Amino acid sequence: MNMYLSIALGGAIGACARYGVGVFAIRLIGHGYPYGTLIVNILGSFLMGVLIETMALRWSPPPEVRSLLVTGFLGAFTTFSTFSLDVAVQVQKGAFLIAGGYIFLSVLLSIIGLFAGLYIMRVVLS
């Protein structure tokens, strides 16, 4: 199967799964807190750990299947899972300062980026 097609298929499934979890969380728990996002971030990170370790120790799928699951599905389900894997890799290498800096910068700069985008569009669209 073509690599791009594999990633696209996984992405479509992951995006639909993310939407489904969000809808389910609102119906089950309600509004007022981003429960759906929290759930997909935690679940996606857990699934990333399960998949990466399984593929490292027991299962060697073709590159297209790996990309469908990791880049496509989990990439669309939550990019937080990739962030978590990046941190874990640095921690396992003993690069705690790099991991900490990455966490700090990723969270802080992502939030700043979001507010910058909000501000710019409010100015442009007003």
Q: What are 38's two structure tokens? A: 């929290």
Residues 6+ apart with CB under 8 A from 11: 71, 72, 73, 75, 76
Residue-level pLDDT at 1 = 63
pLDDT-derived band at 56 (thresholds 50, 70, 90) equals: very high
Q: Of 33 and 26, which is predicted with more confidence?
A: 26
**Residue of 85, 9, 8, 72 whose CA lies nearest to 41:** 85
Q: Which two tokens stand for residue 92?
A: 């396992």
For the record, the structure tokens of 39 come out as 């759930």
Count CB-CB contacts under 10 A for residue 8: 14
How many Å apart are CA 57 and CA 51, to the nearest integer? Answer: 10
Mean pLDDT of the chain: 92
Q: pTM here?
A: 0.78
